[in-house]
Amino acid sequence: MTSATKTQAATELFDTRPRVSSVDAMASVAAHVCPEVLRSLPRCDQRAKGEDYVTGLLKVRGRKSARNMAATMGQSMGREVSEQNLHHFVNSSTWDWWAVRRDLTSYLTSAHHPAAWVVTPMLIPKAGVHSVGVDRRYCPRAGRAVNGQLALSVWLAADGFAVPVSWRLHLSQPWLESATKKSKTSIPEDYPLESVSGCALSSFQEFVRIARPAKAPVIFDLLGASAADLAQVFGTLAHQVATTRVPSDLQLQVIDPAFAGYQGRVLPAAQIVQATKGSRRTEQYVYQGRRHLISIAKVQLADPAAARPRAPLTLVGMMPLDHPRARTELWLTNDPEFSTSSQAHQVALADHVQQGYLHLANRMGMQDFAGRSFTGWHRHSTLVSIAATVGCLVSPGLASEQRASHFPQLDGELRVQEALGVLPPVTQ
């Protein structure tokens, strides 16, 4: 199916059936999308189960368990859908989730050229402790410890369109050092111990190596990265435009000739941005209907032990002018053609993804996987990505319409804009 045919199929659906419900519309579009992105599955019965699973994610209201999906689809589709088959398809089957992610990426990029690839963390609350990767993690935004999994996701982001195309679990030391835990949940023997930022970089590198996506800037929307983490990010992605949020206390060396009094000094990122006020390195910019003061300074990572010359980077501060108490956002980029408009556009893409994964958790079942295994989790998350694709094809603005205020029970737990630390287990 060509790009034009894919777009036409979705368009004609609504032209000819203007009164179709959004749920039925999604199921119909899923029937067009699933054969394209599940074609790597070798057997037709596997592809049929995959389409049933995706359709179930789209149709079921509330918790999207295999039982609920089978019951709902049995009623609405006029045929029996086996709960056992859905469960087995995700937890016990052997199909390659990377092949599906590669085909999903190809399908999407044939019609939507990415404005950026956005890598962002997603904290997935869990009631139990036995599912793969579950830890007690402190979330500063929520102000409390949250029991759950931490996933790093790669999103295709374009104007008005954001879909997750790849996933990677962050696993803590207790998980990786326990032979029992690894055996029970099928964690690969060579899975590495990584910082959250290191896991984000690995997630993107793994995605690029296997899916071979179209080249576009990459945005890392997370905080808490250390200087060593950032050196790895910008060193690895030296030939690609990369931008990342940075913490206010990150130590950077000023190399901007516009700041003669600070030249060569190593200062916290927030202090450098503060020093730009009143200089020619600031500009007012309207972003999302609100005025911001955007400040820039040329810097490099402060690493005296660096074995090779450090690349020049641009530190960007975005301070809301209409809300004096709002926090200034700090970003670091290696973009050689940096402009305030391009930076604001990248931040807008990252914000759209933030809204998108709230919708993903609440409406697409990302947090509803009931299995415990590493392989089952990856297959479930891949099928959630397909469901999210269908949702965006039906209504590109769907994710941004589902504001966090509609889901107060999850707001803050899933918007991981802070560093996430793994807490020690509770002793009884």
List, in order, residues 6 or more apart from 379 with CB less than 8 Å away.
89, 90, 91, 93, 95, 97
Number of CB atoms found within 10 A of residue 296's CB: 25
Between the alpha carbon of residue 236 and those of residues 100, 205, 309, 397, the distances in Å are: 26, 9, 14, 34
Helical (H) or strand (E) element with 345: helix 340-363
Helical (H) or strand (E) element with 170: strand 161-170
Tell me, what's the pLDDT at 305? Answer: 59
Tell me, what's the pLDDT at 155? Answer: 97
Tell me, what's the pLDDT at 364? Answer: 87
Please check whether residue 234 is in contact with residue 331, taking contact to mean a CB–CB distance below 8 angstroms.
no
Tell me, what's the pLDDT at 21? Answer: 55
The residues spanned by each domain of the chain are 3-217+350-422, 230-334
| β-bridge pairing 329-333 and 313-320 | antiparallel
In sequence order, the β-bridge partners of residue 299 are: 254, 313
Number of CB atoms found within 10 A of residue 125's CB: 18
Q: Which amino acid is it at 57?
A: L
In sequence order, the β-bridge partners of residue 148 are: 125, 135
Tell me, what's the pLDDT at 340? Answer: 87
Between the alpha carbon of residue 141 and those of residues 137, 150, 173, 245, 418, the distances in Å are: 12, 15, 24, 16, 7
Tell me, what's the pLDDT at 170? Answer: 97
Tell me, what's the pLDDT at 394? Answer: 85
Number of CB atoms found within 10 A of residue 220's CB: 29
Split the chain (428 residues) into runs of 10 and give each run's mean pLDDT.
48 36 77 96 94 92 89 76 92 96 96 94 87 85 82 92 95 96 96 95 97 95 89 94 95 91 92 86 82 92 69 93 85 93 90 80 84 96 95 67 30 33 38
Tell me, what's the pLDDT at 310? Answer: 78
SS3 (DSSP) at 151: strand
DSSP state of 158: E
Helical axes 66-77 vs 44-59, angle rounded to 10°: 90
Mean of per-residue pLDDT scores for the chain: 83
CA 307, CA 231: separation in Å to the nearest integer? Answer: 11
Residue with tokens 């793969």: 132
